[in-house]
């Protein structure tokens, strides 16, 4: 079974990480049309993943028409994402990359850990620091994540006495909040105002939502899967429930779509009821 077909959430996350990394490099011009991607061995070393993981990520890019592969010749770039044409499946990177060309950026997030969002947000902050976005003046971010004072449906161990998966989630959520706080200082050094608000909801999200500049709504389901879970210290929980989150397929809606309005109402309603984040340390 390939990593992308695996029921192991850790394997799927590694494939998603490799895919997102390569997709970003196609988007930012690192590998233009006609160029060859590095050998699988080199990519595996760079990303600190197995070659099977790299192969799975390359297969996704091939299936979406971005690269062609010939045995013994590597992967050639035949298409790159454009400003006006999202990739085969909606990608958060594409919409955030485009949004940050405005003078003011607004982003609302509803997620389990906000891991995917934070990774893409840091990429955009890097663009600001590189002087690519001189027009940017203000960024506003609101994040809804689960409360630490409520039990989660996932991630969790099948053994009710084992709270290690919950502790892993808590550390990830807090770590992502700290990364966003650090971005405040990085943006301030570039003369960009950053308004960050994080609130906590008393339930486990069954889907993720992103609202980008009031124009694009992205929706993705969290699909529970049962299997082995690797913890941050390298130990393993043999039987645990986690979700396919990072790298999961997203659906895209515009303001005139009925579902976009419903999701906006959902977010605003829960935002009004949510508690402020007092757990960022």
pLDDT in tens, 12-31: 768 877 887 788 788 767 88
pLDDT average, residue stretch 170-189: 95
- Going by pLDDT thresholds of 50, 70 and 90, the confidence category of residue 281 is very low
Q: How high is the mean pLDDT of the chain?
A: 87
Kindly report, residue by residue over 38-60, the tens digit of the pLDDT: 999 999 988 888 999 999 989 88
Residues 6+ apart with CB under 8 A from 37: 22, 31, 43, 58, 67, 74, 75, 76, 77
Instruction: Tell me the average pLDDT across 214-221.
Output: 91
pLDDT at 137 over 60: yes
| pLDDT interval class at 247 (50, 70, 90) | low
Q: Any idea what the CATH number is for the domain that residue 107 is in?
A: 3.30.870
Q: Are residues 101 and 45 in the same domain?
A: no
Question: Based on the domain organization, do 270 and 158 belong to the same domain?
Answer: yes
Lowest mean pLDDT among 24-28, 271-275, 276-280: 276-280
Segments forming the whole domain that contains residue 96: 82-276
Which residue in this structure is represented by tokens 């919409």? 95
- Predicted pLDDT of residue 245: 55
Gap between the Cα atoms of 117 and 127, Å rounded: 16
Confidence grade of residue 81 (pLDDT, cut at 50, 70, 90): confident
Claim to verify: residue 111 and residue 193 sit in the same structural domain: yes
Domain of 54, CATH number, reads 1.10.10.10
Query: Taking residues 244-269, what's their average pLDDT?
Result: 84
Q: Is residue 100 pLDDT above 70, yes or no?
A: yes
Q: What confidence score (pLDDT) does residue 68 get?
A: 92
Number of domains in the chain: 2
HEC string of 64-120?
CCCEEEECCCEEEECCCCCCCCCCCCCCHHHHHHHHCCCCEEEEEEECCCCHHHHHH
Judgement on whether residues 222 and 158 belong to the same structural domain of the protein: yes
Provide the whole-model pTM: 0.69
| Together in a domain, 135 and 206 | yes
Residue at a domain's end among 57, 80, 103: 80
């Amino acid at each position: 079974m390939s990593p992308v077909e695996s029921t192991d959430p850790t394997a799927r996350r590694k494939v998603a990480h490799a895919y997102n990394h390569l997709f970003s490099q196609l988007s930012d011009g690192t590998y233009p049309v006609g160029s060859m991607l590095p050998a699988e061995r080199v990519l595996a070393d760079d990303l600190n993943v197995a070659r099977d993981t790299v192969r799975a990520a390359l297969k996704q890019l091939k299936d979406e028409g971005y690269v062609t592969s010939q045995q013994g010749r590597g992967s050639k770039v035949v298409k790159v994402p454009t400003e006006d044409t999202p990739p085969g499946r909606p990608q958060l990177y594409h919409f955030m990359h485009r949004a940050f060309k405005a003078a003011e950026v607004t982003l609302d997030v509803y997620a389990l850990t906000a891991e995917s969002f934070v990774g893409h947000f840091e990429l955009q902050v890097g663009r600001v620091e590189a002087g690519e976005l001189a027009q940017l003046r203000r960024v506003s971010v609101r994040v809804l994540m689960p409360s630490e004072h409520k039990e989660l449906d996932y991630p969790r161990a099948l053994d009710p006495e084992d709270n290690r998966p919950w502790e892993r989630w808590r550390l990830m959520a807090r770590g992502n909040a700290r990364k966003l706080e650090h971005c405040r200082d990085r943006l301030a050094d570039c003369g960009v105002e950053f308004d960050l608000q994080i609130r906590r909801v008393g339930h486990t999200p069954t889907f993720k939502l992103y609202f980008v500049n009031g124009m694009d709504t992205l929706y993705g389901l969290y699909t529970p899967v049962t299997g082995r879970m690797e913890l941050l210290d390298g130990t393993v929980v043999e039987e645990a429930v986690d979700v396919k989150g990072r790298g999961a397929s997203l659906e895209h809606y515009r303001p005139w779509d009925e579902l976009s309005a419903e999701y906006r109402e959902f977010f605003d309603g829960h935002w009004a009821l949510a508690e402020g984040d007092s757990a960022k340390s």
